[in-house]
Amino acid sequence: MRGSSKPFLKWIGGKRTMASDLLARVPVGYNKYCEPFVGGGALFYALQPDAGYSATLFGKPTAAHLSDVNADLITAYTVVRDNIDELVDELKRHTKNHCFAHFQESRIAFADKSNPVKFAGHFIYLNKTCYRSKFEINKKGHFSSSMDTNLDGEILNERNLRNSSIALQGVQIECRSFFDIVPEPGVFYYLDPPYYKTAQLYNVGDFGKESQAAVAKKCRDIDKAGGYFMASNSAEDYIRELYAGFNIEKINVHRVFAQENTGKFGTQEELLIRNYGENENMEVRHERKKNENGDIIRQRQIYKKSTSRT
Ligand X SMILES: C[S@@+](CC[C@H](N)C(=O)[O-])C[C@H]1O[C@@H](n2cnc3c(N)ncnc32)[C@H](O)[C@@H]1O
Site of interaction with ligand X (CB under 6 A): 11, 13-15, 36-37, 39-42, 68-70, 177-178, 192-194, 202, 204, 207
Closest separation in Å from C-beta 89 to ligand X: 26
Question: Is the Cβ–Cβ distance between 213 and 234 less than 8 Å?
Answer: no
Rank residues 202 and 246 by Cβ distance to ligand X and give the closer one: 202
Minimum CB distance to ligand X, residue 295 (Å): 28
Q: Residue 149 CB, nearest distance to ligand X (Å)?
A: 25
Do residues 63 and 31 touch, judged by C-beta distance below 8 A?
yes
> Which residues are registered as beta bridge partners of 231?
191, 273
Cβ pair 94, 130 in contact under 8 A: no
Question: How far is residue 128 from each of residues 77, 102, 150, 278, measured CA to CA in Å?
Answer: 15, 13, 11, 39
The nearer residue to ligand X, 85 or 180, going by C-beta atoms, is: 180
Would you call 212 helix, strand, or coil by DSSP? helix
Name which of 42 and 126 has its Cβ closer to ligand X: 42
Shortest reach from residue 47's CB to ligand X, in Å: 12
Q: Of 15 and 299, which CB lies nearer to ligand X in the complex structure?
A: 15
Q: Output the smallest distance, CB 261 to ligand X, in A.
A: 16
CA-to-CA distance for 284 and 286, rounded, in angstroms?
6
Give the residue with the Cβ less far from ligand X, 212 or 275. Answer: 212
* Helix, strand, coil shares, percent, the chain, to 5: 35, 20, 45
Q: Quick one: 68 or 299, whose CB is closer to ligand X?
A: 68
CB-based closest residue to ligand X: 39
> How far is the C-alpha of 179 from the C-alpha of 195, rounded, in Å?
16
Could you tell me if 121 and 156 are in contact, meaning their C-beta atoms sit under 8 angstroms apart? no
Nearer to ligand X, 71 or 302 (CB): 71
Supply φ then ψ for residue 146, to 5 degrees: -90, 165
Cα separations in angstroms, 183 against 180, 220, 225: 9, 10, 6
Euclidean distance between CA atoms 274 and 152, whole angstroms:
35
Q: How far is the CB of 179 from ligand X (least distance, A)?
A: 6
Q: Find the shortest distance in angstroms from Cβ 190 to ligand X.
A: 7
d(CA 193, CA 201): 12
